[in-house]
C-alpha cells in the first residue's frame, strides 16, 4: 500500500442520478486534479460509478463520461439492490486497484472538498477516515430530528455507529481487504466498518442541499434501514423480552399483595383473585421463556453470519 503517492478511487453509488452525476463527476475530477497537482495523490486516481439498476439513462451517461475521460469508470448492477449493495459492489471492484477508496453519494450533499482532508489523514497513517457532519443546517427540522432520534435509538439498542456519519468515508486497501471478509447478506456498512477497527480518523464537513434530482430516502426507507441496522448487529431487543418477563413477575408480587388484601377485606368477586394472579404470572413466564429461546436464536444468528472472528492489522516476522 502506497501512502506517499496513493491511487485513490472515489466510489459513487448511483440510482437515477442522470441529473446530478454530470455535475458531481466533474467536480470530483477537478478535486482529484487539484490533489494530484499538489502531489497528494497519484494522477492515476479515478472515479468508479456503481449504477444500481437505474431507469433514467444513468448507465448510458456513465459510459459517455468514460468515453470523455477514462478516469471515470463504471459498473452496473443487474437490478436495483439498494444503496448499501451498490456501494459494496463498487468498493469490492476497486479493491486491489487502489491504495484507498472514498465513498460518496452522487448528489454532493457531502462536501467533496472534505476528501482532501481525508487523504491527508490517510497519508499520515489512518486506515479509515469517517466524514462526520458538523451541522445539519440545510436539512429540514424534521429530517434533522428524526435522524438524531435514530442515532440515539440505535445506540440504546446496542448498535454502535459513528454519530452523524453516513457512508462518506475513506477506507484504505487494508480496510477493504478486511471488509471483504464480511459475507453477510443484510448489509449495514455503518455498523460493519466500526467493527473492523484499525487506525481511524474523523473529518468534519458541512452538509449541503442536493445539487440536482431528489432524495431516494424518504422517512419510511430510513426507518426500515434503521431497524435493519439494529437487528443485524444486536440481540439486545431479544434480551429486552426476557427483562420484560422479569418485570411482569415482579409486578405479579405486588398484585399478589393487593389481591390478598382485597381477598381478606372480602370485597372480591369469586374467581377474581386467581385470575388476576395468573394473568401476570403466566404472562411473565411466557415472556421470559420467549426471551430464553430468543437468546439461543441470537447465538444462531451470529454464527450464521459467519463474520470473521478476528482480523490481523499488522505483522512482524
CA distance 182 to 117: 28
Among 105, 111, 117, 127, binds ligand UDP (CB under 6 A): 105
205 - beta bridge partners? 133
Within 8 A by CB and 6+ apart from 108, the residues are: 20, 23, 24, 27, 208, 210, 211
| Region of 158 on the Ramachandran plot (φ > 0 left; ψ -120 to 50 alpha; else beta) | left
- Give the binding-site size for Mg ion (rule: CB under 5 A): 3
By CB under 6 A, tell whether 111 contacts ligand UDP: no
Closer by beta carbon to ligand UDP, 52 or else 99: 52
Q: How far is the CB of 193 from ligand UDP (least distance, A)?
A: 16
CA distance 284 to 254: 13
Query: Which residues 186-225 are close enough to bind Mg ion by CB under 5 A?
Result: none
278 - beta bridge partners? none
Site pattern 71..110 for Mg ion (x: CB under 5 A): ----------------------------------x-x-x-
By CB under 6 A, tell whether 224 contacts ligand UDP: no
By CB under 5 A, tell whether 167 contacts Mg ion: no
Closer by beta carbon to ligand UDP, 114 or else 288: 114
First and final C-alpha spacing in the chain: 18
Q: How far is the CB of 235 from Mg ion (least distance, A)?
A: 31
Within 8 A by CB and 6+ apart from 148, the residues are: none
How big is the CA angle at 93 (ends 22 and 95), to the nearest 5 degrees?
115
- Give the binding-site size for ligand UDP (rule: CB under 6 A): 16
Among 216, 236, 239, 305, binds ligand UDP (CB under 6 A): 216
Q: Which helix (H) or strand (E) holds 101?
A: strand 100-103
Among 9, 17, 35, 100, binds ligand UDP (CB under 6 A): 17
Q: How far is the CB of 299 from ligand UDP (least distance, A)?
A: 32
By CB under 6 A, tell whether 164 contacts ligand UDP: no
312 - beta bridge partners? none
By CB under 6 A, tell whether 19 contacts ligand UDP: no
Closer by beta carbon to Mg ion, 63 or else 216: 216
Closer by beta carbon to Mg ion, 54 or else 109: 109
Q: How far is the CB of 43 from Mg ion (least distance, A)?
A: 29
Query: Which residues 100-159 are close enough to bind Mg ion by CB under 5 A?
Result: 105, 107, 109
Contact 175, 128 (CB under 8 A): yes
Site pattern 48..67 for ligand UDP (x: CB under 6 A): ----x---------------
Q: Which helix (H) or strand (E) holds 299?
A: helix 272-305
By CB under 5 A, tell whether 17 contacts Mg ion: no
Long-range pairs, 139-148, Cβ under 8 A, ≥24: 139/207, 146/219, 146/222, 147/222
216 binds, among ligand UDP, Mg ion, none (CB under 5 to 8 A by kind): ligand UDP
Query: Which residues 70-89 are close enough to bind ligand UDP by CB under 6 A?
Result: 80, 82-83, 86
Q: How far is the CB of 104 from ligand UDP (least distance, A)?
A: 8
CA distance 124 to 202: 13
Contact 165, 132 (CB under 8 A): yes
Q: For residue 174, report the phi and psi dihedrals to the nearest 5 degrees.
A: -65, -45
Footprint on this chain of Mg ion (rule: CB under 5 A)? 105, 107, 109
Footprint on this chain of ligand UDP (rule: CB under 6 A)? 13-15, 17, 52, 80, 82-83, 86, 105-107, 109, 215-217
Amino acid at each position: 500500500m502506497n501512502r506517499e503517492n496513493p491511487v485513490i478511487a472515489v466510489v459513487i453509488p448511483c440510482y437515477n442520478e442522470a441529473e446530478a452525476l454530470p455535475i458531481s463527476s466533474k467536480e470530483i475530477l477537478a478535486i482529484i486534479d487539484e490533489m494530484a497537482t499538489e502531489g497528494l495523490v497519484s494522477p492515476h486516481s479515478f472515479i468508479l460509478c456503481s449504477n444500481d439498476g437505474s431507469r433514467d439513462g444513468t448507465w448510458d451517461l456513465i459510459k459517455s463520461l468514460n468515453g470523455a475521460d477514462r478516469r471515470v469508470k463504471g459498473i452496473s448492477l443487474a437490478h436495483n439492490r439498494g444503496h448499501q449493495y451498490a456501494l459494496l459492489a463498487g468498493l469490492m471492484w476497486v479493491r486491489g486497484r487502489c491504495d484507498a477508496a472514498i465513498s460518496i453519494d452522487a448528489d454532493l450533499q457531502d462536501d467533496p472538498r472534505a476528501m482532501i482532508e481525508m487523504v491527508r489523514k490517510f497519508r499520515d497513517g489512518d486506515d479509515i477516515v469517517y466524514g462526520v457532519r458538523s451541522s445539519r443546517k440545510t436539512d429540514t427540522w424534521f429530517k434533522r430530528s428524526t435522524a438524531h432520534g435514530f442515532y440515539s435509538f440505535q445506540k440504546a439498542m446496542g448498535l454502535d455507529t459513528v454519530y452523524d456519519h453516513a457512508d462518506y468515508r475513506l477506507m484504505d486497501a487494508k480496510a477493504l481487504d478486511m471488509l471483504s471478509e464480511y459475507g453477510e447478506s443484510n448489509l449495514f456498512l455503518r455498523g460493519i466498518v466500526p467493527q473492523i477497527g484499525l487506525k481511524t480518523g474523523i473529518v468534519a464537513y458541512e452538509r449541503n442541499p442536493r445539487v440536482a434530482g431528489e432524495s431516494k430516502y424518504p422517512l419510511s426507507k430510513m426507518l426500515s434501514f434503521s431497524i435493519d441496522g439494529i437487528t443485524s448487529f444486536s440481540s439486545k431487543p431479544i434480551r429486552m423480552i426476557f427483562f420484560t418477563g422479569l418485570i411482569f413477575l415482579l409486578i405479579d408480587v405486588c398484585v399478589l399483595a393487593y389481591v390478598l388484601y382485597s381477598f381478606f377485606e372480602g370485597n372480591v368477586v369469586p374467581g377474581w383473585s386467581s385470575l388476576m394472579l395468573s394473568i401476570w404470572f403466566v404472562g411473565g413466564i411466557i415472556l421470559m421463556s420467549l426471551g430464553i429461546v430468543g437468546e439461543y436464536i441470537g447465538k444462531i444468528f451470529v454464527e450464521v453470519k459467519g463474520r470473521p472472528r478476528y482480523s490481523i492489522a499488522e505483522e512482524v516476522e
